[in-house]
Amino acid sequence: MSSVAVVSDTTNYLPRELADREGIHQVSLYFGWQGERLRESELDGFDAFYERLRKDPNVPTTSQPSIGDFLAVWEPLLHEGKDIVSVHLAGGISGTSESAHQAQRLLAERGLGERVEVIDGETACGGTGLLLLAAAAAALPAPVADRQTVEQRVRDARKALKIWFCIDTLEYLRRGGRVGKAQAWIGSTLKIKPILSLEYEITPVERVRTSRRAFERMVQYAQELHDSGADGWVVQHIQATDQAERLIDRCREVFGCEPVFTSEVGPVIGTYTGPGLLGVGAIPRSLLA
């Protein structure tokens, strides 16, 4: 059993069985409409949420975990004698990392703060998932692994990570106030398919005119990842199962191997991107060993 516990929040959207198998603990974010406050971790599927998102004129709200939420996950792990590396959603789009830092400072007042390392992953979704799997791999050689080793593996993986995603419209980002550096694209008279990345905040990559062109660009990005040596790849989507399966098939041809994982992105991130998201990203598979 590892002496270092890996913790994250629910916006990595790792398949639950994979997260459980790798021993990754999760602190839930919240979402809801008009006063609702629902834990993302309690959902078994996302179809009902996205159906309402399409139809409801009201914008759902999202919120980060409380200090108490972090302590409820961390304290039992500390009681077991484990140190903690806690990796979270990009600070440019969420206060989750800051809330985790506040919880860590509260532990510091009790002499436990140095046993918890909080890392702003500066990414989300599949990017965070890959960082967590890299952390879990580094934590495995117990009792040799230590917190510093796991922390360094996360930082090495983040440095190597590249991730892109295309969405049907910028409208959800605009409504939710998370448009970031893509602000200049808002109000364009062109009907565009935005391709974006996440480097602490939403970062524009390019605009294309059609869904077909956006899909082909995602395949080309996968080829760039492969050519750069990043062969531990993931595909994620929102309500775009057919397109995701097509992209997975094309990526198998590019990489010559199976994905590390594939999954659908849930409400907290989906509130700001809307249905139709399709994403691909990768790090070197050696960082997952």
What integer pLDDT is reported at residue 172 of this predicted model?
A: 86
Query: For the stretch 93-132, what's the b/e string if a residue is b when 16 or more beta carbons lie within 10 angstroms of its beta carbon?
Result: bbebbebbbebbeebeeeebeebbbbbbbbbbbbbbbbbb
Please give the average per-residue pLDDT across 259-283, as a whole number.
97
| Domain total of the chain | 2
Query: Using CA atoms, how far apart are residues 57 and 127, in angstroms rounded to an integer?
Result: 30
Please give the average per-residue pLDDT across 251-272, as a whole number.
97
Whole-number average pLDDT of the chain:
93
Which has the closest alpha carbon to 154: 283, 269, 26? 283
CA 231 vs CA 22, 128, 251: distances in Å: 20, 16, 10
| Residues 166 and 73 both lie in one domain | no
Higher-confidence residue of 189 and 118: namely: 118
Higher-confidence residue of 169 and 33: namely: 33
| Residues 13 and 127 both lie in one domain | yes
Please give the average per-residue pLDDT across 117-130, as a whole number.
98
* Band of pLDDT at residue 135, cut at 50, 70 and 90: very high
What CATH number is attached to the domain comprising 92? 3.40.50.10170
Name the percent of the chain lying above pLDDT 70: 93
| Residues 151 and 10 both lie in one domain | yes
| Residues 96 and 185 both lie in one domain | no
| Residues 155 and 225 both lie in one domain | no
| Residues 149 and 84 both lie in one domain | yes
**The last residue of a domain, from among 97, 130, 159:** 159
Domain extent at residue 126: 4-159
| Residues 175 and 76 both lie in one domain | no
Model confidence over 145-189: pLDDT tens digits?
899 999 999 999 999 999 999 999 888 888 766 655 555 555 554
* Angle subtended by helix axes 125-139 and 147-160, to nearest 10: 140
| Residues 85 and 221 both lie in one domain | no
What integer pLDDT is reported at residue 186 of this predicted model?
A: 54
Please give the average per-residue pLDDT across 256-272, as a whole number.
97
| Residues 142 and 237 both lie in one domain | no
Residue 33, SS3?
coil
**The last residue of a domain, from among 159, 194, 218:** 159
| Residues 249 and 106 both lie in one domain | no
Peptide bond into 57 cis (omega under 30): no
Model confidence over 64-87: pLDDT tens digits?
999 999 999 999 999 999 999 999
Please give the average per-residue pLDDT across 213-233, as a whole number.
97
**The last residue of a domain, from among 129, 159, 189:** 159
| Residues 125 and 148 both lie in one domain | yes
What integer pLDDT is reported at residue 225 of this predicted model?
A: 98
Query: Using CA atoms, how far apart are residues 220 and 126, in angstroms rounded to an integer?
Result: 18
pTM tops 0.85, yes or no = yes
